[in-house]
Amino acid sequence: MNTKKEFQHPLIIRITHWLNFIALGIMVASGLRIYNASPVFYFKIPSELTLGGWLAGARQWHFFAMWLFLLNGVIYVIYNVSTRHGRHTTLFHHSDVHGIVPMIKYYLRLQKEHPPQKKYNALQKLAYTTVPLLAIGAILSGIAIYWPVQFSFVTRLFGNYDTARVWHFIFMASLVLFFLGHLLMVAIAGWDNFLSIITGWKKSSNTTEPHV
């Protein structure tokens, strides 16, 4: 194994990654508290998983963290677009389509050989490209229910006020699902990979080793 260090994540990516983790954590925990005040579905979220103590406190957290989430996301997008960072390694390209099935087979242990890949495999690229779109969906559906009068055209995009609330929940749940999958992959990939999102560097340059 090659022990040469390899640079993985630029500083801005590392900072926005962790700010996003904090912002989304606050958004989800306080949002679930807001959800509990009048559940859209037939269940409530255990209070222990929520943030804010009561509805007013949850709203204060939610409408603080939304700015952090939004500004952080804008910086992330501007950085990626202007530097073309991740354009070939992370952004899903139509040529990645044929790589999806072999990766699923590999993950399901139906195929022993890890399909050849560069920094990320086809499924990872798909996930890392979908997640920003989910975030945009969460923000738009959030605007739809925060300002159903001032931005009524955004609310109409999601049907009406009530269906926009459901969409907001779906985007949140999808982001949480991604997060859980991401955690699992990070755990599988190991410590060296985890350190790379903190220090920027990874020991191995062997690209067939899992990188998350």
Partner 1 sequence: MKKRSIIAVSDSSEGGFSLRRRKLLKLSPLLFLAGCDISPSGGTESFLKTFQAFNDWVQGKVFDPTKLAPEYSDTDLTPEDGFRVNGYDTDTPDIDLAHWTLTVEGMVTKPGQYTLQQIMSLPKRVMNTRHCCVEGWSMIPQWGGTPLRDFLHLVGADVNAKYVAVECGDEYYTSFDMPSILHPQTMLCYEAYQKPLALEHGAPMRIVMPTKLGYKSAKWVNKLVVANDKPGGYWEDQGYDWFAGI
The DSSP-derived string for the chain is: -----EE---HHHHHHHHHHHHHHHHHHHHHHHHHHHS-SSS----GGG--SSSHHHHHHHHHHHHHHHHHHHHHHHHHHHHH-TTTTTTS--GGGGGGHHHHHHHHTTS--SPPP-SSS-HHHHHHHHHHHHHHHHHHHHHHHHH-TTTTHHHHHHTSSHHHHHHHHHHHHHHHHHHHHHHHHHHHHH-HHHHHHHHHSEES---TTS---
CA 82, 85, 90, 93 dihedral sign is positive
Of 35 and 92, which CB lies nearer to partner 1 in the complex structure? 35
CB of 172 to partner 1, least distance (A): 14
CB of 199 to partner 1, least distance (A): 18
CB of 148 to partner 1, least distance (A): 5
Of 38 and 82, which CB lies nearer to partner 1 in the complex structure? 38
CB of 11 to partner 1, least distance (A): 19
First vs last Cα of the chain: how many Å apart?
A: 19
CB of 181 to partner 1, least distance (A): 19
Of 48 and 113, which CB lies nearer to partner 1 in the complex structure? 48
Which neighbouring-strand residues pair with 104? none
Of 16 and 121, which CB lies nearer to partner 1 in the complex structure? 16
Q: What angle do CA 197, 142, 184 make, to 5 degrees?
A: 30
Of 25 and 116, which CB lies nearer to partner 1 in the complex structure? 25
CB of 136 to partner 1, least distance (A): 20
**Site residues, partner 1 (CB under 8 A):** 21-22, 25-26, 29, 34-38, 40, 47-57, 59-61, 63-64, 146-150, 152, 161-162, 165
Of 53 and 181, which CB lies nearer to partner 1 in the complex structure? 53
